[in-house]
Amino acid sequence: MSVHNAAAPPGTEVKKRKKTFRLFPLWIVLLCMLPGILHYCIFRLYPSVMTAYYSFTDISGVPGTSWKFIGLANYKEFFILQNARDLKAALFRTVGYAFFVTIIQNAIALMLAVIVNSSFLKGRNFARGVYFMPVILGSAVVATIWKMIFSTPTGPIYLFMKNILQIPSPPSILSSRIYAFPAVIAAQIWQNMGYSMVIFLAALQGIDNSLYESASIDGASEWKMFTKITVPMIWSAVMINTLLAIIGSLQSYELIMTITRGNFNTSTLGMMAFATAFGGGGATASGGTISGLRQGYAAAESMVLFIGVLTATIVSQILMKRAEVEQ
Amino acid sequence: MGRNANPAFKVFCYVLVVLFLFIYLFPLFYIVNTSLKTSQDYLLHPTTLTSTFSISNFGVAWQKANFGTYIWNSVLYTAVCTLASLFMSVMIAFPISRRYIPASNFLHYLFLCGLFLPSGMIPTFQLILGAGLYNTRIGYMLVMTGVSATSVFFFTGYFRGIPRDLDEAAAIDGCGYLRYIISVVIPLSKPAIISMGMLSMIGVWNDIVNSTIYLTSESNYNITRGMFVFQGQYSNDWTLTAAALLIVAAPLILIYLFGQRYIVDGVMAGSVKG
């Protein structure tokens, strides 16, 4: 497997030494790999697997407290003992968040990717650069920007509603039980749209331009070219983007945590798991807090989320493969 | 779509592009504008262009938010975690790309697992707590460092493009493995190193979740967390918050202006492999 005898002197000796000869001593190669492999096993694989184990315990985040194995009690509490309305609200919100983010983000990203890929458009590189920028800004910065834009009574959205839309007493968006959730979704899309767009752009650049030329000679409309050439040609990018958006938005809680802390009906399952484990608003669906940093219960919530993500991934892949065949 | 698209379609495209440019640039413009206003000016005329250009907000925010301490923490965290992550990823990716070790396929799949497994936030916390590293710089950096599957695959792919003859030439000349990697492989893979390095830097600089979990004493805060706490305390003074926000975002925007291509390359690598 790892034999490179070009450097060895020619002759029969090579054959004998074939098994053991290496360009560089094996031990030093392995020694150099060791820190990375250890770190990966300790801080990536082990925690990942242990989440399942902890979900059957009542371990807490407070150091020095004893904990024990409690079987399925956490899951029972989550699915059965919990207020059914809370459970339903949390699950609906998690699915809704993922659904709207995935659909809207990818629709806008695809549309803008097609447009900024058009050769007639002036300043398309600038536009690409601008659309992608929030991706690097990070949740804390993006959250603060949107808190400011939505702030009351000096934020531009408030003033817009008051002075231009003539709404007498505009709601305070981010502390409204109705509007806070859509606002967080909008912020999430604003932050990540550029990411999806870049993936679409790469796929679009792989399409042979002669396809469009011959289609336009045949008199095809822009829309026809889009549905008959563009979409089928970039279907794999559509699948990747959908998958990434579903996985990302189901698990994502950074913006929820930084914008509303899960209050005002914005808490999703990911946010609930974080808040249950480490404190903060949004530990329950209605935004209240569970005291005591119940990390065993939070681990169970994480596991429910993980199963959900896995199911959504598989189902979406099957649906999209089927759509591909039908095209 | 080509230059000969119909005019109505072109106009439609321009309108959409401009509309979204507005959606993306307006918030940033608004922040910059606000950061240059005095507090009174902002409260009286929040949406007008600044007439004062008062840069004093930046100084005041820097002082009040205690950025003098936090920025050094952030620089330390970013530098150490990025260098450590890069070093570990390169050291793992190179032998895998050359199949210099037994079981390189197994390792490849081991890292592939990392793309699908759930994040283990709670066990990681228990681990750090048990090791007595809670609320320490070391503990935080251990969590923030990481060999991601993305970077291993990205580097593995890149290293395959470096001719094997170089390995052989180096080995014949008696060049040690570590020296070979540092003085030959890494310089030859500059674009890949820059891509992954920038992504890592951006990730560490922006971190808010782990700094919220692991850093409880103010002397350990990174600048992002410092800005976030400051915003909570001075939530009514948006001019100071805007200035603090721009201080945190400035290095990111600088990196982006100079390294956009590398960042996009790195991001793309993650998505295609993922």
The pLDDT score that the predictor gives to residue B114 is 80
Q: For B106-110, what is the mean pLDDT?
A: 86
For residues B241 and B248, what is the distance between their CA atoms, to the nearest angstrom?
11
Task: From chain A, pick out residues whose CB is under 8 angstroms from the CB of B117.
Answer: 44-45, 48-49
Residue A64 falls inside a structural domain: no
Label residue A2 by pLDDT band (50, 70, 90).
very low
Does residue A286 have a pLDDT over 70?
no
SS3 B76: helix
Rounded to a whole number, what is the distance in Å from the CA of A85 to chain B's nearest CA?
27
Indicate if A79 and A150 belong to the same structural domain.
yes
B119-142 burial, b at 16+ Cβ within 10 Å, e below that, comes to bbbbbbbbbbbeeebbbbbebbbb
- Higher pLDDT pick, B244 / B41: B244
In a domain, A63, yes or no: no
Q: Which residue has the higher pLDDT, B152 or A82?
A: B152
With CA atoms as reference, report the closest residue to A272 among B73, A261, A84: A261
pLDDT at B23 over 90: yes
CB count in 10 Å sphere of residue B111? 25
Q: What's the rounded mean pLDDT across residues A113-132?
A: 90
Asked whether residue A65 is domain-assigned, the answer is no
CATH number where A204 lies: 1.10.3720.10
Q: Which chain A residue shows the shortest CA-CA distance from B250?
A: A137
Residues of B in contact with A23 (CB under 8 A): 100, 167-168, 171
Query: A282 with A154, same domain?
Result: yes
Determine the angle formed by the axes of helices B238-273 and B223-233, rounding to 10 degrees: 140
Count other C-beta atoms under 10 Å from residue A310's C-beta. 13
Short-list B188, B145, B122, B9, CA closest to A220: B9
Res A185: pLDDT = 94
With the C-alpha atoms ordered B36, B37, B43, B44, is the resulting torsion angle positive or negative?
negative
Label residue B195 by pLDDT band (50, 70, 90).
very high
Among the residue ranges A4-8, A247-251, B168-172, B178-182, the one predicted with the least confidence is A4-8
Of A35, A136, A146, the CB nearest to B263: A136
Beta-carbon pairs below 8 A across chains A and B? 288
For the stretch A205-225, pLDDT in tens is: 888 888 888 888 888 888 888
Confidence of residue A16 (pLDDT cuts 50, 70, 90): very low
pLDDT of B19 > 90? The answer is yes
Based on the domain organization, do A257 and A302 belong to the same domain?
Answer: yes
Specify whether A182 is located in the same domain as A315. Answer: yes
Nearest to B88 among A39, A140, A195 (CB): A39
Chain B residues with beta carbon closer than 8 angstroms to that of A199: 268, 271
Could you tell me which chain A residue has the CA closest to the CA of B9?
A222
**Per-residue pLDDT, B25:** 94
Burial A57-76 (b: 16+ CB within 10 A, else e): bbbbbeeeeeeeebeebbbe
- Same domain, yes or no, for A10 and A90? no
**Cβ separation B24–A130 shorter than 8 A:** yes
* A79 and A50 within one domain: no
Q: Does A236 touch chain B (CB under 8 A)?
A: no
What pLDDT sits at residue A83?
78
Can you give the pLDDT at residue B193? 94
**Phi/psi at A57 (nearest 5 deg)?**
-125, 175
Q: Do B9 and A2 touch (CB under 8 A)?
A: no
Tens digit of each residue's pLDDT (9 = 90 or more) over B83-99: 999 999 999 999 999 88
CA distance B119 to chain A (A): 6
**Greater confidence, A175 or A141?**
A141
User: Distance (Å) from the C-alpha of residue A139 to the closest C-alpha of chain B?
Assistant: 7
How far away is chain A from the Cα of B63, in angstroms, using its nearest Cα? 19
What's residue A282's pLDDT?
Answer: 66
Q: What is the pLDDT of residue B41?
A: 82
- Residue A153 scores a pLDDT above 90: no
Range of the domain at A146: 73-326
CA distance A70 to B210: 28
The residue with tokens 């590293």 is B133
Residue B268 is nearest to which of A54, A137, A202, comparing CB atoms?
A: A202
Radius of gyration of chain A (CA): 26
Tell me whether A10 touches chain B (CB under 8 Å): no
The complex's ipTM works out to 0.89
- Of A272-286, B154-168, B217-231, the one with minimum mean pLDDT is A272-286
Q: Kindly write down the DSSP assignment for every residue of A142-163, as one continuous string.
A: HHHHHHHHT-TTTSHHHHIIII
Q: Is the pLDDT of residue A43 over 60?
A: yes
Ranges A63-67, A88-92, B201-205: which has the least confidence:
A63-67
Residue A57's SS3 state is strand
Inter-chain touch A295–B118, beta carbons under 8 Å: no
pLDDT 10s digits, B25-75? 999 999 999 998 888 888 887 777 877 777 888 998 899 888 999 999 999
Q: What is the pLDDT of residue A317?
A: 85
pLDDT at residue A169, as a whole number: 81
Residue type, A294: R
Q: Which residue has the tokens 């279907």?
A: A235
Residue scoring higher pLDDT (A8 or A46): A46
* Residues A287 and A142 occupy one common structural domain: yes
Of B42, B143, B180, the CB nearest to A154: B42
Whether A206 has its CB under 8 Å from any CB of chain B: the answer is no
Q: Look at residue A61 and tell me if it is in a domain.
A: no
Tell me the average pLDDT of chain A.
85
Same domain for A236 and A302? Answer: yes
Closest CA to B228 of B27, B33, B67: B67
* Cβ <8 Å between B123 and A47: yes
Domains in chain A: how many in total?
2
Q: How close does chain B come to A212, measured CA to CA in Å?
A: 7
Q: Is the pLDDT of residue B274 over 50?
A: no
pLDDT of B181 strictly over 80: yes
* pLDDT exceeds cutoff 90 at A56: yes
Q: Would you call B252 and A138 a contact, using CB atoms and an 8 Å cutoff?
A: yes
Q: Are residues A141 and A267 part of one domain?
A: yes
CATH class of B65-273: mainly alpha
Q: Do A48 and B110 touch (CB under 8 A)?
A: no
Provide the pLDDT for residue A31: 92
Residue A268 lies in a domain: yes
Domain boundaries of chain B, sorted by first residue: 1-30, 65-273
Q: Which of B1, B67, B96 is the best mutation test for A, with the most CBs of A within 10 A?
A: B1
Clarify whether residues A41 and A184 are in a common domain.
no
- pLDDT, average across residues A132-151: 92
Q: Are residues A180 and A280 in the same domain?
A: yes
The torsion angles phi and psi of A177, rounded to 5 degrees, stand at -70, -15
